[in-house]
Structure 1
């Protein structure tokens, strides 16, 4: 890997200008990949369980899992940078993104958004990852999203989008299909 380790901001969180990943021995990359995939899989299992049995204890278990997953991801990012696909593999990098999207700390999400943007620009992770976290952060900040990936679950309509006239072009650039197709699939349950 190129670059030197970045400095950590106050509180131990990775700074925006931190190098996105640091050199990592293969055994560590494999271990981190397994941990990220295990954690995302556990949350997915709990979510399926909660759909079948929406008891308060199931919702609490999901919340606790997400909190623990976010803490683990923060530790990984603080020590190793964003777990990009070129380091931990595509499935683990996607698992890290899923964990990040369910984290509750917007400042952490914003820091990771910037690390993911750099990793995507360098070709180390899919541009699609940046699209999802960029839209997530924009919606959480009350700003229009750029790619239309966030949809209001109550209305099945996208949250506000900046420059909607060029939306499908931006979506195509990151590997997404047209928004109408995504919305149709959501409405029909495909």
Structure 2
């Protein structure tokens, strides 16, 4: 990646994506008590927000005939699209479609390999397979646990190949960011809510 795209070509789409992620984060924070009573630790309000955001992203990729990349929605819009994709766990087929579109965007220089790696890992975990880059975590009983990886010994090398920091360095940041929110359980990745975990570099 050669630098940040400062002015999105489609600022209205960028605002929509970013606004949805910010609203989802607010909904997540506001639903703490509801989530504690939810068997899956999500809650009805966040579930509805996730479904609505996924439908919005589905419409956007159809309208654009591809991933909303940096050229059209800027760095923040592209990251917001990834957040929504990561949170769309209710529709693995859609996530796999988005993974393909994101890979095309990476080839065009319109998204980062780190962003692709996060969604790739997410799809693997949701398919019941070990992840490759160690981006997906499980928050349980106040502790972050990494989902199984296919090559633990070579994990840092795999991470470096897609522009991710070493596992240990990222684990420190993850703990600082996510272990301050009580009562939370569930999948962890790089999205602010309801998925949590490491941030991708633009």
Q: Is TM more than 0.5 here?
A: yes
Which structure has the higher relative contact order (CA within 8 Å, separation 6+)? 2
Do residues 89 (structure 1) and 74 (structure 2) align? yes
Give, in angstroms, the shift of residue 173 of structure 1: 2.6
Could you tell me how far apart the structure 2 residues matched to 1:116 and 1:54 are? Answer: 31
Task: Output the CA distance in 1 between the equivalents of 2:177 and 2:96.
Answer: 31
Of residues 20, 33, 51 in structure 2, which corresponds to 1:39? Answer: 20
Greater fraction helix: 1
Contact 2:24–2:46 (CA<8 Å) still a contact in 1?
Answer: yes
What CA deviation, in whole Å up to 9, does each residue of 1:141-189 have, x standing for no partner? 0111111000121252211111222211221232221112222333455
* Secondary structure, aligned partner of 1:156: strand
Higher Rg: 1
1:140 aligns with 2:121: no
Q: For this pair of structures, how many residues does the alignment match? A: 165
Distance 1:55 1:28 in 2: 41
Deviations 1:80-115 (A, max 9, x none): 111011221010111111111111210000011011
Question: Does structure 1 conserve the Cα–Cα contact (< 8 Å) formed by 2:34 and 2:43?
Answer: no
C-alpha offsets along residues 3-61 of structure 1, whole Å, 9 cap, x if unaligned? xxxxxxxxxxxxxxxxxxxxxxx997111111111111100111122237757699211
RMSD (Å) for aligned C-alpha atoms: 2.4
